[in-house]
Amino acid sequence: MGDSMTGIGIDIGSTAAKVSIINNEEIKNFYMPTGWNSRETALIIRQKIEGLGFKNYKVIATGYGRVSVPYADKTITEITCHAKGAYYLYNDDITVIDIGGQDTKVISIKSGKVSSFSMNDKCAAGTGRFLELMANSLGITISELCSLGKDDTAIKISSMCTVFAESEVISLIAQGTKKEDIASAIIEAIISKVSSLVQKHGNNNKYFLTGGLSQNPIIIDKLSKKLKSPIFTHRDALYAGSIGAALLSIE
């Protein structure tokens, strides 16, 4: 451990900080909440890395908080790192859909490289933040929200704006609408928002889901039905950005 071939990728997202360590062709991943102070989070990450016995390593930082990693040798944008990591995990050209805490990205990969990308970072409605806020209104976790909302419903959340959607949810609760129906309507709202970004991005027929929401089979199933295309993922898909950064650090 700790030889010159150790590469570390740190992806400081809006919600979670993801870390990947490549050593002797093995990848270790861990994550922690970003919290209020991403600089402090970065320092805790360094302590953890050194606690694992790594002393001599290269670090590439990526993600929204990439500038808060003072010990990084280099920073690289999320798009490049995500594409690199997703290509490593899927091992073929594909279109990556990354639904994170505060933005959603669609990245097409051709011959292992980014060929085009689209991004929604202006509006919370098609991101993890939307699910978080709605789960809070219902007093449940995101996982509980997804399980409750696995079936279809006739109830619709008509507002495209998160703030108005939240008031709609609150009035549905007040009217005594079943939690299951509200949950389904919430999931339907985020799925439509994400799929319209994907469809605008254009002509693709298979997808690889990364980011926090890739951990949820109900999201994958519903998005796949909406896009009428298979959606692949990987148990480490949450780490696509940090894995990509770690790989780039040892190139």
The site for ligand ADP (CB under 6 A) is made up of: 13-16, 63, 100-102, 128-129, 131-132, 142-143, 146, 211-213, 215-216, 219
Q: Closest separation between CB of residue 203 and ligand ADP, Å?
A: 25
16 vs 105: CA distance, rounded Å: 16
171 vs 152: CA distance, rounded Å: 20
Contact between residue 100 and residue 132 where contact means Cβ atoms under 8 Å apart: no
Which of 158, 97, 166 is closest to 130 using CA atoms? Answer: 166
Residue 207 burial (10 A CB sphere; 0-12, 13-18, 19+): buried
Q: 35 vs 65, 139, 234, CA distance in Å?
A: 11, 21, 26
* Shorter beta-carbon distance to ligand ADP: residue 23 or 242: 242
Q: Closest separation between CB of residue 238 and ligand ADP, Å?
A: 6
What sign does the dihedral 108-113-116-121 (CA atoms) show? Answer: positive
* Shorter beta-carbon distance to ligand ADP: residue 16 or 106: 16
* Shorter beta-carbon distance to ligand ADP: residue 7 or 63: 63
Q: 18 vs 42, 66, 193, CA distance in Å?
A: 10, 11, 25
Helix (H) or strand (E) holding 105: strand 104-110
Q: Closest separation between CB of residue 35 and ligand ADP, Å?
A: 11
Point out the residue whose Cβ comes nearest to ligand ADP: 212
* Shorter beta-carbon distance to ligand ADP: residue 6 or 14: 14
* Shorter beta-carbon distance to ligand ADP: residue 23 or 149: 149
Q: Closest separation between CB of residue 53 and ligand ADP, Å?
A: 26
Distance of CA 16 to the CA centre of its chain: 9
Contact between residue 149 and residue 184 where contact means Cβ atoms under 8 Å apart: yes
* Shorter beta-carbon distance to ligand ADP: residue 6 or 209: 209
Q: Closest separation between CB of residue 4 and ligand ADP, Å?
A: 29
Q: Closest separation between CB of residue 58 and ligand ADP, Å?
A: 22
